[in-house]
């Protein structure tokens, strides 16, 4: 990995520079809308739906929500992780003395449950670098196959916890001399991931250009992206998004409200470490094995992302969702949008549909106009067999 001490400052300008660097290697993924999901999100939940939850007996929230889905499931490698991986590789290749010291022959190492593994393997292959990937033994078979067979990386299996994966990666580094590229806990990674939210803002402006012109002509309210919500695991995507949605240097006092940034996590088996850490004001450094179907979200928040999410307060809140809510959101995306996404991708949508705390906030601050809410679909690396088994469990 490029030396963190030489990394660019963690600012919006650095996200913009990262975007210029990786643009030749990535896709500008589409932004989709869906009127059915807007209607569902803007319909109050019934008392029966709230029965048995922490919001039982409470007046259902009545938000008005318009979704803008940034579809990173269409990214190279099937996930947003390609952005950080290509940025890390391109920065590493520009490090003084790296190539002369045998870096090209030794290659790179990482540990990942799947999407970063595939992304780094892809980026390494594009630069003809060896890639050594540590994956937990319970990783998705389709993700293992992509890493080993499609991108021709060397795969080593480890235990399921972050500590076990990190220890295995350290052994591979010692054996090969390859450079470690962490899945999220490095400035180069999160700056690359933030380019998805940067594109989302630009695409939102393009898609609403006519409405903005009409508002300017009549003195009406122009359309604006009010907030963005992303999945939270190690924190690279969420912290990068927070930087991308922050003011440019010198524009800290710009008029108008900010673009708020939120995260979402599964609550099963303590996978909501980010939410709990924010509540207690301290990062939770380790979590035990979790069975959440959102297999890309089984990692605690990293140290570098935490400085942005918590210390700089660039993320407003993180919300938890249940396995049932993730499945319901997943089914809606498949059936209503006809888009293939993985369970991890829909936790933000699930929060907007089912988390009454989040919905009440949108109602309060959005009022009658509501919010235009960006939702980043983080990836689509899921097998049809796996999804069939997932939904078969619900019907059995």
Catalytic positions, written as ranges: 81, 113
Q: In whole angstroms, give the CA distance from residue 61 to residue 354.
A: 10
Q: In whole angstroms, give the CA distance from residue 45 to residue 40.
A: 9
Strand order in the sheet with 154-158: 154-158, 131-136, 108-111, 179-180
Beta partners for residue 63, in sequence order = none
Q: Are strands 31-32 and 65-71 parallel, antiparallel or unpaired?
A: antiparallel
The secondary structure of 160-178 as a DSSP string is: SSHHHHHHHHHHHHHHH-P
The secondary structure of 194-239 as a DSSP string is: THHHHHHHHHHHHHTHHHHHHHHHHT-PPP---EEEEE-SSSHHHH
Q: Are 327 and 391 in contact (CB under 8 A)?
A: yes
Q: Going by C-beta distance under 8 Å and a sequence separation of 6 or more, which residues neighbour residue 280? A: none
Radius of gyration of the chain (CA): 21
């Amino acid at each position: 990995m490029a030396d963190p001490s030489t990394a660019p400052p963690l600012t919006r300008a650095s996200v913009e520079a990262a975007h210029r660097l990786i643009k030749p290697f990535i896709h500008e993924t589409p932004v989709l809308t869906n009127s059915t999901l807007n209607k569902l999100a803007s319909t109050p939940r019934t008392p029966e739906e709230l029965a048995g939850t922490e919001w039982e007996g409470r007046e259902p929230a009545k938000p008005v929500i318009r979704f803008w889905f940034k579809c990173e499931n269409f990214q190279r490698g099937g996930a947003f992780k390609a952005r950080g991986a290509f940025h890390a590789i391109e920065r590493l290749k520009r490090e003084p003395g790296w190539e002369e010291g045998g870096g090209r022959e030794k290659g790179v190492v990482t540990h990942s449950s799947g999407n970063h593994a595939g992304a780094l393997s892809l980026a390494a292959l594009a630069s003809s670098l060896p890639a050594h990937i540590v994956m937990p033994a319970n990783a998705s078979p389709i993700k293992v196959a992509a890493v080993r067979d499609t991108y021709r990386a060397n795969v080593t299996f480890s235990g399921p916890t972050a500590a076990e994966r990190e220890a295995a990666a350290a052994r591979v580094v010692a054996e090969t001399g390859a450079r470690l590229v962490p899945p999220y806990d490095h400035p180069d990674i999160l700056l690359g991931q933030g380019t998805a939210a940067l594109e989302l803002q630009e695409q939102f402006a393009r898609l609403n250009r006519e409405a903005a012109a009409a508002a300017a002509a009549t003195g009406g309210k122009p359309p604006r992206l009010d907030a963005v919500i992303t999945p939270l695991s190690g924190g690279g995507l969420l912290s990068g998004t927070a930087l991308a949605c922050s003011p440019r240097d010198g524009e800290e006092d710009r008029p108008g409200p900010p673009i708020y940034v939120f995260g979402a996590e599964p609550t099963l088996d303590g996978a909501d470490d980010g939410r709990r850490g924010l509540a207690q004001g301290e990062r939770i450094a380790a979590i035990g094995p979790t069975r959440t179907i959102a297999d890309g979200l089984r990692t605690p928040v990293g140290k570098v992302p935490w400085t942005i999410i918590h210390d700089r307060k660039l993320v407003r809140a993180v919300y938890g969702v249940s396995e049932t809510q993730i499945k319901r959101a997943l089914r809606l995306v498949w059936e209503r949008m006809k888009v293939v996404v993985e369970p991890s991708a829909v936790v933000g949508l699930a929060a907007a549909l089912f988390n009454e705390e989040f919905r009440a906030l949108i109602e309060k601050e959005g009022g009658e106009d509501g919010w235009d809410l960006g939702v980043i679909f983080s990836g689509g690396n899921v097998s049809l067999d796996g999804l069939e088994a997932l939904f078969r469990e619900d019907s059995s």
